[in-house]
Structure 1
């Protein structure tokens, strides 16, 4: 959905929110690098202080290329055959989170090689990046909402007594919403659920845990990454049940995204409960 036009150029809400999330994430890492919180991780701190622009460039590149290609490959292969140039129209929406994760990880591997980071510094840097990932999710889901995409099932399809009994309240806070570009049905606003659950809530949890563990000297490398994969996977897996059937592909009773979330959950457990052994090899 177009937010505004400048000299005939359409600016989409989706692009504005992506830009906002990048700016806020940059400012967060910039401030963190200039605090004393990272004093025990000197190389990472110096890297963020002196080369944050370079790191930000490769991460943004990973997000955009990975997210867009992931969307096309996993969810909308028709773009390749109908209008292949549309792959680059990221401002119109259509980004796959899983693809973005893969893109960022590949970017981080390049950064590790370029700056010759040890494995411990590499995974700690990933933890720092992961802290701000929920900010991108928060604003990205709002962009999805404004684009009138990724909408939820109708309340009649869900048939939950909780929704019916609290319908007036849920409508007041837009958790039940009519997507007018789709139809006139009252639907579960899965965009807002994901924006809060996968975005704002996880960001606040990570900030509190990271700050407390780092201050106490008990922070374990990989903690935030493992928690993210585990918690995001669980939340997204549950919310997927509320997505409209025209918006998802079902395979043996689960959406394709839910299978990715199962992988996330397994990886999260492996990192949280196996990283201590790995850390000894660093």
Structure 2
């Protein structure tokens, strides 16, 4: 039975400035996006429509704002609305933690819509470009969760070779290292699937639909191993909040992919 090594959350201390591992994982996520999206715009289906590296850099700026603002507001509204309604100033205390992927996704969608409107591009053209570039960022974030010893998993059979005790949980029984499960599923596996799928020109909306379905299904599975938030527990049908948020995501992805398949020209 393993024990979480309880890493120091500070990767580097430069006088009064502390550089945290979690911040570095965000930096890695943005760097990977920039690299992968720059490769995407060189593909013929995007290059012939005038996509450039400069577009990717501008899109990253919009995306960062969407991730940070949407992720924070999503956590506030989806997970602890009553608490923040009574303590509104705490909404701005981002250093205390509290980000939600589904909120971050909505924030990115809003940022993409604004970018598409300003650049006079179709929203799905933007979404299809970036969809395969997102999972590596999610993988980086899950590594940050593991380093911080947060978002640990549910109780595991002690005979499981990789079962791990997380002292941060205040309990000494072994758990699933669910952060690593999510790293492998929503991060690496989803990246491989989408990157290979998107190498071939697809109809507009197909790649975006595949991302919504893929992430929703893989996150739904991973949630069975992740400890639900203690202030929420399991909700209706024994499902966690994360699983319930995945349901409309998968349905939307199926609808978008089906609609895209009925369209004519291959554009993404």
Please report the TM-score for the alignment, with normalisation by the length of structure 1: 0.82
Instruction: Indicate yes or no: 2:195 matched with 1:191.
Output: no
Relative contact order, higher structure (CA 8 A, sep 6+): 2
For residues 178 and 56 of structure 1, what CA distance do their matches in structure 2 show? 37
For residues 214 and 86 of structure 2, what CA distance do their matches in structure 1 show? 36
Figure out how many residues of one structure are paired with residues of the other and give that number. 254
Greater fraction helix: 1
For residues 190 and 87 of structure 1, what CA distance do their matches in structure 2 show? 28
- Preserved contact between residue 153 and residue 227 of structure 2 (Cα < 8 Å): yes
Per the alignment, residue 234 of structure 1 pairs with: 217
Alignment of 1:130-209 (within 5 A): 130-156=131-157, 164=159, 167-168=160-161, 171=162, 176-182=163-169, 183-209=171-197
- Preserved contact between residue 93 and residue 144 of structure 1 (Cα < 8 Å): no
1:43: Cα distance to partner? Answer: 3.1
1:142: Cα distance to partner? Answer: 1.0
1:51: Cα distance to partner? Answer: 3.0
Identify the match of residue 250 of structure 1 among 234, 238, 247. 234
Alignment of 1:1-282 (within 5 A): 1-33=9-41, 35=42, 37-39=43-45, 42-45=48-51, 48-77=52-81, 78-79=83-84, 81-82=86-87, 84-85=89-90, 87-89=92-94, 93-117=97-121, 119=122, 122-156=123-157, 164=159, 167-168=160-161, 171=162, 176-182=163-169, 183-211=171-199, 213-214=200-201, 219-247=202-230, 248-252=232-236, 253-277=238-262
Further displaced range: 237-246 or 61-70: 237-246
- Preserved contact between residue 154 and residue 176 of structure 2 (Cα < 8 Å): yes
What do residues 259-279 of structure 1 show as CA deviations (whole Å, max 9, x unaligned)?
111101111111111223456
1:178: Cα distance to partner? Answer: 1.4
- Preserved contact between residue 139 and residue 186 of structure 2 (Cα < 8 Å): yes
For residues 210 and 98 of structure 2, what CA distance do their matches in structure 1 show? 26
RMSD over aligned Cα atoms: 2.3
1:42: Cα distance to partner? Answer: 2.8
1:204: Cα distance to partner? Answer: 0.9
Please report the TM-score for the alignment, with normalisation by the length of structure 2: 0.86
Query: Equivalent residue of 1:4, what SS?
Result: strand
